[in-house]
Amino acid sequence: MSIRKQTLWDAEKDRYSGFVDLGDEIHNDKSATLASEALVFLLVGTRSHWKCPIGYFLGDKISAKDQAKLVSKSLEMAAKAGLKVWSVTADGTAVNLRTFEILGCSFNGSYDEMTTSIIHPTTGEDVFIILDPCHMLKLARNALAHLGTIVDGEGNVIRWHHIEELQKLQEVEGLNLGNKLSPNHLKFQKHKMNVRLAAQTLSSSVANAVEFLDKSMKLSSFHDSHGTVIFIRTIDRLFDMLNSRNPIAKGFKTPLHPKTKDTWEEILMSTADYLLSLKTSAPTGQLLSTSQRKTFVIGFVACIKSTISMATQMFSLPTNPFKYLLTYKFSQDHIKLLFSCIRSRGGWNNNPNVLQFKYAIRKMLMRNAITASKYANCVDFTGCNNIIPIFHTRKHKKSTTYENIVEASASNNDSSDIFSMCEHLNEEGHSEFTSNVLFYIAGYIVSKLMKTLVCPACKKSLLPLPKQLPANGHDYTSTIYHEAGKASSFTTFVNRGGLQIPSTSVFRTVEYCEHVFKATVTGKDGKQISNEGNLKKKMIVNVFQHFTLDSTSELFTDHEDDDNEIL
C-alpha cells in the first residue's frame, strides 16, 4: 500500500518517524530514507470466515531479497502459532515474482516445468503460490488492448478491434446488446486498478454479443471474430473458477468438489495449454509467455497449477478433509479491503502517512477484538451494532394513478407534438440491432413479472403461444412461435434455458415505449436531453393513448376481463 512520504514527530516514542523500518530481522541500509509503501501480511481462514493482519513493514521499493526474508519469517511465526499456511497470494509485480523465485519457484518453460510452490521453512510442507486472479484479469485486458491482436495455438486471431466496434455500435444505437460496455471500459487508462471494468470487458456477455453480430447479423466489422470469442470466454470461465465464493453457486462459479475433480481439472489443464499457446501477431510470432506481456499468462497458469495441487492435498487429508474449496479464499481482495478500511479512517485518504497508517490499523484491530459481554442487558442476535440516528426522516412518495398522471400531463403544450412524433417513429420502426435489444429487455420484464403476478391469465398473456403441432402430433423440434421474427434472434442465440420469451403484446409495448422515450427525452433533434418535469408521467400517458386510441393495437386479447388483476 502506498503511503505519504513525510517526517512526523511521534510523541509516543519521543522521536521522529516516517522512515523505512523492516523490523529487527533485516539489516536496514535505508534507515534515513522516508518510507513510501507499507508491506502488509494478512492471514485468511480457509474453513471459516476470519481475517487478521499479522504485521506490516515500512519500506521504499523493498528488494526481492528482503521481501523473501519477510515471507519466510511470517511462515515461521504462523507455524509457531499452530497455523497451517496453504498458500501465499500476491500480485504479479516483478519484485514479487523475483521474491518467489528466490524462495524456490520457477515460472519459465512449459506447464510441467513450472514450480509454483515453496518449502515451508519450519514444517517442510508445500506452500503454494497464487498470483492474484483479479490482477491477472486486468493484465490480460491490458495486453490485448496494447498489442491489438493476439494469435492462439490454432491460428485464430484475437482482436481488441472487435470490442471497440461493439462499443461504437452500441453508442450509435443507444442500447447495449446484453452487456455492460461503456466508454470507460475502453478508455481504462485512468481506471487500470478497477477490476469491475476488466471483468465486464472480458465477459461472456461481450463474447455473446460479438458472436451474434458476426454469425447472425453478418456485420463486416465483426468478421472473423471466432478467436476473440474463444479468448474472452476462456478468460471469463477461468476467472469464475478461480474466484468462486458461494458454496451453492452454479456453473463455473461453483466451488471445487472432490467428486467433480476430473471435470474441473480437465478444464483448468486445457485452459493452461491454451494460454501457453498464445502468440504475438506476425511477423514475430513470439510466445506471450516469453514476451514483455507474459505476466498474465504465467500468472494464470501458476494459479491453475497451484489450485489443482492444493485442492488435491486438501481433499486427501487423512483427518477432516475439505468437502469443497472456495477459491476466493486465496484472492488478494481481502487485503485490498483492509487497505480500503485504512484509507477510510482518514476520510478516504488515498495516501496516509506513517502515523495515520499505524493508528488506523491499530484501531481496527482493537475494535474488532471488542465484543459485547454475555452478561450484558441485551443480546445482539443480528450482529449489527449500528445506532439508528435520532433525526431520521423518510420521504413518502405520492401514489401514482392514471387520473393524476393525465392531470399532470394535461398542462403540457407539446403533448400533441410528442404523440405525433411517436407515431412517426413507430411507422419507421427500429433497426434490427435495436429490435433484438428490445426483445431481450422484454424477456427480462416478463421474468420479473412472472415472479410477482398470481393471476394465471395474466401470466399466460405475457408468454407466447406454442406453435401448432403437425398432423401426426409429434414435432419434437417445434419452437415457440413469435411474430417478432428477427428481433428474437439474439435472445434465442444466447438462451441456455433461463431466459423468458415475451409475448407479441409485451414486445410491441416495449417497442413503442422506446419510441416514446426517444421522442420525450431527446426531442426532435435527438441530441439534447430534456430538462422538463414529469417526464415519466408524460411517457406513461403517451403509451396509454397509443394503445387506447388505436383499435389495431389491441394488446393481451386472450386475457379475461373479469379477472381481478389489471396489467
- In a domain? residue 565: no
Alpha carbons within 13 A on the beta-carbon side of 393: 4
pLDDT for 392: 42
pLDDT for 337: 86
Query: Does pLDDT of 422 surpass 90?
Result: no
pLDDT for 377: 45
Same domain? 161 vs 304:
yes
Same domain? 230 vs 183:
yes
Question: In this predicted model, what pLDDT tens digit does every residue of 423-442 receive, in sequence order?
Answer: 655 666 788 899 999 999 99
Same domain? 94 vs 146:
no
Query: Does pLDDT of 333 surpass 80?
Result: yes
Of 73-82, 155-164, 372-381, 409-418, the poorest mean pLDDT is in 372-381
Same domain? 64 vs 145:
no
The full 3-state SS of 261-319, as one line of letters, equals HHHHHHHHHHHHHHHHCCEECCCCCCEHHHCCCCHHHHHHHHHHHHHHHHHHHHHCCCC
Query: Does pLDDT of 378 surpass 80?
Result: no
- In a domain? residue 376: no
Same domain? 159 vs 286:
yes
1 falls in which pLDDT band (50, 70, 90)?
confident
Q: Which residue range(s) make up the domain with 291? A: 134-310
Q: CA angle at residue 489 from 483 to 492, to 5 degrees?
A: 105
Query: Does pLDDT of 21 surpass 50?
Result: yes
Same domain? 532 vs 446:
yes
Of 94-98, 460-464, 471-475, the poorest mean pLDDT is in 471-475
Same domain? 77 vs 139:
no
Greatest distance between any 2 Cα atoms in the chain: 96
pLDDT for 527: 62
pLDDT for 44: 92
Closest-CA residue to 73 (of 121, 140, 127): 121
Query: Does pLDDT of 466 surpass 80?
Result: no
- In a domain? residue 472: no
Closest-CA residue to 149 (of 229, 233, 228): 228
Query: Does pLDDT of 389 surpass 50?
Result: no
Query: Does pLDDT of 388 surpass 50?
Result: no
Percent of the chain with pLDDT over 90: 49
Q: What is the DSSP string of 43-80?
A: EE-SSSS-EEEEEEEEESS--HHHHHHHHHHHHHHHHH
pLDDT for 379: 46
Same domain? 205 vs 254:
yes
Q: Roughly how many angstroms between the first and final C-alpha of the chain, as a whole number?
A: 55
Question: In this predicted model, what pLDDT tens digit does every residue of 203-257 receive, in sequence order?
Answer: 999 999 999 999 999 999 999 999 999 999 999 999 999 999 999 998 899 999 9
Question: In this predicted model, what pLDDT tens digit does every residue of 50-79 receive, in sequence order?
Answer: 888 899 999 888 899 999 999 999 999 999
Q: 459 to each of 51, 456, 513, how far by Cα in Å?
A: 47, 5, 21
- Higher pLDDT, residue 522 or 223: 223
Same domain? 73 vs 191:
no
pLDDT for 265: 95
What total of structural domains would you count in the chain?
A: 3
pLDDT for 512: 87
275 falls in which pLDDT band (50, 70, 90)?
very high
Same domain? 185 vs 153:
yes
Same domain? 170 vs 182:
yes
Torsion angle of the four alpha carbons 222, 228, 232, 235, in this order, in degrees rounded to the nearest 10: -170
The per-residue pLDDT of the chain, averaged, comes to 83
- 466 preceded by a cis bond (ω within 30 of 0): no
Same domain? 67 vs 44:
yes
Task: Give dist(CA 253, CA 261) in Å, integer.
Answer: 15
94 falls in which pLDDT band (50, 70, 90)?
very high
| Phi, psi angles (nearest 5°) of residue 345 | -65, -25
Which residue in this structure is represented by grid cell 465477459?
203
**Residue 198, C-beta contacts closer than 8 angstroms, at least 6 positions apart:** 134, 137, 138, 140, 141, 188
pLDDT for 549: 64
